Amino acid sequence: MGSFVSFVDRLVDKISEKRSILCVGLDPQPQWIPEEIFKEASEQVKDDENAKEITARAILIFNKAIIEAVKDLAVVVKPQIAFYEAYGSSGIWAFEETIKFAKKQGLLIIEDAKRCDGGDTAKFYAQGHLGEIDVFSKSGFVKEKGVDADAMTVIPWTGLAGLDHFIRIVKEKGKGIFVVVKTSFRPNSAIEQIPTAKGTKMWEEAALLIKQWAQRCGGKSGLNNIGVVVGATYPEEASKMREIYPDAFFLVPGYGAQGGGAEGAVAGVREDGLGVIVNSSRGIIFAYERSEKFKDKPENFAESAKKAAEFSRDELNQALEKKANLPW
Amino acid sequence: MGSFVSFVDRLVDKISEKRSILCVGLDPQPQWIPEEIFKEASEQVKDDENAKEITARAILIFNKAIIEAVKDLAVVVKPQIAFYEAYGSSGIWAFEETIKFAKKQGLLIIEDAKRCDGGDTAKFYAQGHLGEIDVFSKSGFVKEKGVDADAMTVIPWTGLAGLDHFIRIVKEKGKGIFVVVKTSFRPNSAIEQIPTAKGTKMWEEAALLIKQWAQRCGGKSGLNNIGVVVGATYPEEASKMREIYPDAFFLVPGYGAQGGGAEGAVAGVREDGLGVIVNSSRGIIFAYERSEKFKDKPENFAESAKKAAEFSRDELNQALEKKANLPW
């Protein structure tokens, strides 16, 4: 590893500092963004016809308000790129600006992109999202940062042909990846569940391989910069994952709106209280509209998100305390 | 299916019309784009400092010349989005413009994005790349097309939680998907090769599931709009794949620069000569620099690409003729 503080160690520090294991998912579905924000956005756009740009600007206005509201309660924000790239270049602009803004607020960024390829393609994904890319300037080729997230999610299907490019950047640049091993969707992914010759399920064999590939990617905290995604909706699998890969950090989706409870979400935590970061998206950012507890008028969306984030942080900490030592 | 001509039927028609099964991969790595093109691009950019925009404009200039050169020889172009999204919003702009231009030249577009997710995220991917998205205009929410590729590649890891959103759009909009089942990378992906309880490899079980999920997605040509990716570097696996999933269209990467020969590339073809489309990227678009046979001066890059495309088309047709009836 280089002379930097590696991703997983920065994550551990933030968790202790903020006393929170909450990650807020920035999944800005337009149908739930308050209409006033769209009106504000359309005033910013000269070309009335460019509905993608209006939508992208509305997303950015919305995200900034959410980030301001949750910045002291969450340690990480996780923008899901699907909700931005749907609007083409305008959407990606909003994605880039969201990340810049969240970084300035002291939040770590896990980019949820679930990329998967091999060879030079995987290299471009890894460099473009976590590292540096070659660009042509007036003085010839130079290196520039791409998205520059702190960590990103990846899919293991292509094996080391894909992952080795990400692992290299993890080692060289102090970044992290979370490999999607056990998703939160119900029913289970039929692919992850295919029975193997060893009597296990596919995802368990994938976890074993990833652990093996993650050698020499450990941080000083004793946790590994190659983490895994394990859904909150499958707590038994989370415990099994912890046995398979003891020093992995788990990124846990599915808590909140997808139906996973706080206890299920922390099922994979280690005795020292480390090793899980729990994501909630809709349940927080659209709490004003989507939550029973924090329903409110559209103009109060940010306040409502703040209350939902506070509630989630506390609920997760209580579940953590029941299960393990608190890490702070 | 709707009243449109479905993707796979349009593909079959194009193959017969052009007497070609060639797909040209638009993977524009800047290191091989002639320097003159970068100079032309930098003159177009007002802000001298914006190296990502210069690079993106160079990519578009390069792509347009390549598309002009190969448009009568290839049936499909396959832009690999990793080589565009590395440059953020500027890169995605070049990606969108490339696709618009290629469509105007009568080429079909297979977007190589290998997306993979579930739930609403998968829905946004499917709508954003193949369908329509909700955007806010002066008159409220309206529907607009996203990338609007003819087909795209996807990864099966999340199972039906991801694929069902794509399958819906295949049925509703006459689009296609190619599920990545057996990649071309060497060595093999360790994940695809995990031995299953049935004595098969993971990828075979994935293929069986996909065939099952692809019911009622068939075109009039007798081929299915849910195709699979099968690397040219593994011809035995291609034959096995044909047994498992007889009416699948195979998108075959790995021919040319990755070392797969023409005979290996068509190993999975059906007796009627249909069911494979073979991709070459670097070996064609950067033939002036990367090919033994068609090496040339940088200013002749497009001419060299044209010769390489002609050679590839003919070589593939000869291999096809040895193995099956010609489909025209």
Q: Which of B51, B88, B195 sits opposite A136 (nearest CB)?
A: B51
Q: What angle do CA B8, B11, B13 make, to 5 degrees?
A: 115
Count of other CB atoms within 10 angstroms of residue B43? 10
Torsion angle, alpha carbons of B56, B252, B65, B45, to 10: 0
Name which of B178, B176, B228 is nearest B203 in CA terms: B228
pLDDT digits (tens, 9 = 90+) for B107-126: 999 999 999 999 999 999 99
In A, residues 26-55, which contact B (CB 8 Å cutoff)?
A: 27, 29-31, 38, 41-42, 48-49, 51-52, 54-55
Under 8 Å between Cβ of A142 and B51: yes
The residue of chain B with its CA nearest to that of A92 is B89
Q: Which residues does chain A have within 8 Å of residue B139's beta carbon, measured at their own beta carbons?
A: none
Contact: A156, B191; criterion CB under 8 Å = yes
Residue B328 lies inside a defined structural domain of this protein: no
Residue B179 lies inside a defined structural domain of this protein: yes
Q: What angle do CA A16, A19, A25 make, to 5 degrees?
A: 105
Under 8 Å between Cβ of A40 and A296: no
Asked if the C-beta of B133 comes within 8 angstroms of chain A's C-beta atoms, the answer is yes
The β-bridge relationship of strands B140-145 and B132-137 is: antiparallel
Q: Which of A141, A146, A196 sits opposite B196 (nearest CB)?
A: A196
Asked if the C-beta of B158 comes within 8 angstroms of chain A's C-beta atoms, the answer is yes
Averaged pLDDT for residues A305-323: 97
Alpha-carbon gap, residue B1 to B10, rounded angstroms: 14
Catalytic residue list of B: 114
CATH number at residue A258: 3.20.20.70
Residue B248: what residue type?
Answer: A
Contact: B86, A258; criterion CB under 8 Å = no
Averaged pLDDT for residues A61-89: 98
Alpha-carbon gap, residue A278 to A307, rounded angstroms: 17
The residue of chain B with its CA nearest to that of A253 is B118
Contact: B96, A88; criterion CB under 8 Å = yes
Under 8 Å between Cβ of A304 and A295: yes
Q: Which tokens belong to A325?
A: 């030592």
Mutation test of the interface with chain B: which of A155, A255, A279, choosing the one with the most B Cβ atoms within 10 A? A155
The residue of chain A with its CA nearest to that of B49 is A137
Contact: A119, B185; criterion CB under 8 Å = yes
**Greatest Cα pair distance in chain A:** 61
Q: What's the distance, Cα to Cα, between the start and end of chain A in Å?
A: 26
Concatenated DSSP letters of B24-81? EEE---GGGS-HHHHHHHHHH-SSTT-HHHHHHHHHHHHHHHHHHHHTTT-SEEEEBT
Contact: B118, A29; criterion CB under 8 Å = no
Alpha-carbon gap, residue A8 to A70, rounded angstroms: 21
The residue of chain B with its CA nearest to that of A38 is B136
Residue B278, strand partner residues = B22, B252
Structural domain total, chain A? 1
Mutation test of the interface with chain A: which of B84, B89, B184, B279, choosing the one with the most A Cβ atoms within 10 A? B89
Count of other CB atoms within 10 angstroms of residue A105? 14
The residue of chain B with its CA nearest to that of A205 is B194
DSSP letter assigned to residue B194: P
Per DSSP (E only), the strands in chain A are 22-26, 76-79, 108-115, 132-137, 140-145, 151-154, 176-182, 224-230, 248-252, 276-280
Q: Is A20 left (phi over 0), alpha (psi -120 to 50) or beta?
A: beta
DSSP letter assigned to residue B23: E
Alpha-carbon gap, residue B291 to B282, rounded angstroms: 9
pLDDT digits (tens, 9 = 90+) for B47-77: 778 999 999 999 999 999 999 999 999 999 9
Cis amide linkage into residue B187, ω under 30° from 0? yes
Name which of A136, A135, A115, A134 is nearest A126 in CA terms: A115
Count of other CB atoms within 10 angstroms of residue B100? 12
Contact: A88, B82; criterion CB under 8 Å = no
Pick A258 or A93 by higher pLDDT: A93
Q: Which of B92, B137, B141 sits opposite A89 (nearest CB)?
A: B92
Element (H, E) at B151: strand B151-154
Which residues lie closer than 8 Å to A248 by C-beta, 6 or more apart?
A211, A214, A223, A224, A226, A227, A228, A241, A242, A275
Which residues lie closer than 8 Å to B74 by C-beta, 6 or more apart?
B18, B20, B22, B23, B24, B107, B309, B313
How close is the nearest chain B Cα to the Cα of A159, in Å? 5
Under 8 Å between Cβ of B241 and B201: no
Q: Which residues does chain B have within 8 Å of residue A138's beta carbon, measured at their own beta carbons?
A: 42, 48
* Structure confidence at residue A271 (pLDDT): 96
Q: Which residues does chain A have within 8 Å of residue B259's beta carbon, measured at their own beta carbons?
A: none
Averaged pLDDT for residues A300-306: 98
Catalytic residue list of A: 114
Contact: A124, B93; criterion CB under 8 Å = no
pLDDT digits (tens, 9 = 90+) for A110-143: 999 999 999 999 999 999 999 999 999 988 999 9
How close is the nearest chain B Cα to the Cα of A163, in Å? 10
Residue A2 lies inside a defined structural domain of this protein: no
Alpha-carbon gap, residue B251 to A33, rounded angstroms: 39
Q: Give pLDDT < 70 ranges for chain B.
A: 1-2
Count of other CB atoms within 10 angstroms of residue A136? 23
The residue of chain B with its CA nearest to that of A163 is B189
Residue B196: give the domain boundaries. 7-323
How close is the nearest chain A Cα to the Cα of B48, in Å? 7
In A, residues 100-129, which contact B (CB 8 Å cutoff)?
A: 112, 114-122, 124-125, 127-128
Residue A1 lies inside a defined structural domain of this protein: no
State the count of interchain CB pairs (< 8 A) between A and B: 235
Asked if the C-beta of B326 comes within 8 angstroms of chain A's C-beta atoms, the answer is no
Q: Is this structure's pTM higher than 0.90?
A: yes
State whether the Cα torsion B304-B310-B316-B322 is positive or negative.
Answer: negative
Place of tokens 């950019």: B45
Q: Which of A117, A136, A202 sits opposite B202 (nearest CB)?
A: A202
Averaged pLDDT for residues A58-69: 98
Alpha-carbon gap, residue B27 to B256, rounded angstroms: 14
Alpha-carbon gap, residue B271 to B257, rounded angstroms: 27
In A, residues 273-302, which contact B (CB 8 Å cutoff)?
A: none
* Structure confidence at residue A1 (pLDDT): 47
* Structure confidence at residue A2 (pLDDT): 53
Residue B1 lies inside a defined structural domain of this protein: no
Residue A182, strand partner residues = A230
In B, residues 78-97, which contact A (CB 8 Å cutoff)?
A: 80, 82-83, 85-90, 92-93, 96
ipTM of the prediction greater than 0.95, yes or no: yes
pLDDT digits (tens, 9 = 90+) for A184-221: 898 888 999 999 999 999 999 999 999 999 999 999 99
Q: Which tokens belong to A284?
A: 């927080």
Asked if the C-beta of A134 comes within 8 angstroms of chain B's C-beta atoms, the answer is yes
CA distances to A256, B46, B80, B322 from B268, rounded to whole Å, are 46, 50, 23, 13
Place of tokens 């070609």: B20
Q: Which tokens belong to A222?
A: 């004793």
The residue of chain A with its CA nearest to that of B208 is A191
Alpha-carbon gap, residue B183 to B314, rounded angstroms: 24
Count of other CB atoms within 10 angstroms of residue B45? 19
Residue A249 lies inside a defined structural domain of this protein: yes
* B81 φ, ψ (degrees, to nearest 5): -65, -25
Alpha-carbon gap, residue A234 to A241, rounded angstroms: 11
pLDDT over threshold 70, residue A78: yes
* Structure confidence at residue B1 (pLDDT): 47
